[in-house]
Amino acid sequence: MKLLAVLASLVVAAACGSKAPATTTTGGGDTAGSATPVLPDVPFEKLDHDQQIQFMKEVVVPTMAPLFKEHDAKEFAEFGCETCHGPGAEKGEFEMPNPDLPKLNFADMSKHKKEDLEWMGKVIKPTMAKLLKEPEYSPENPTGFGCVHCHTPEAK
């Protein structure tokens, strides 16, 4: 529970404050070119709210959608913000962890398909950790990016 409080604090801290992103102009030297925000090469938590949204749209969704669709094309045919963030994403609410995702009971994971657990552990978790520029959770690194960044624990 303490970890969830820390994670929630990080999300709130990352979303607060808003400095204008660096911009570049597009076009062959034409001064009428449109400004395109350039994302800084920093961990996700260091981005302001607008940069986080841009990062999710430009980096996370294009990277993760094929991984989800490859695992289950039917279930994840409409992969997008709502897949991970739930229906609140439509209204700009991106709270994580998402209580609408399957709940996890680490003492008994038998209600989940073995292939789903392996896929999450070997493909999704390490890929998201890398994208977010965070170390991955492990017993040696319990504060790294792991299951509880997205899923909530099952009530006992």
Express each pLDDT in 71-110 by its tens digit: 999 999 999 999 999 999 999 999 999 999 999 999 999 9
What pLDDT is recorded for position 155? 83
Confidence check: pLDDT of 120 > 60: yes
Confidence check: pLDDT of 12 > 70: no
* Residue ranges of E strands in 1-156: 23-25, 35-37
Confidence check: pLDDT of 139 > 90: yes
The DSSP call for residue 25 is: E
Q: Give CA–CA dist 18/150, Å, rounded.
A: 24
Q: Give CA–CA dist 39/48, Å, rounded.
A: 10
Q: Give CA–CA dist 141/143, Å, rounded.
A: 6
Q: Give CA–CA dist 11/23, Å, rounded.
A: 25
Confidence check: pLDDT of 31 > 90: no
Instruction: Pull the structure tokens for residue 113.
Output: 């398909």
Residue with token string 């302001």: 48
Give the number of other Cβ atoms within 10 Å of residue 152's Cβ. Answer: 17
What pLDDT is recorded for position 32? 53
Instruction: Pull the structure tokens for residue 97.
Output: 């962890």
Instruction: Pull the structure tokens for residue 49.
Output: 């709210």
Contact 116, 27 (CB under 8 A): no
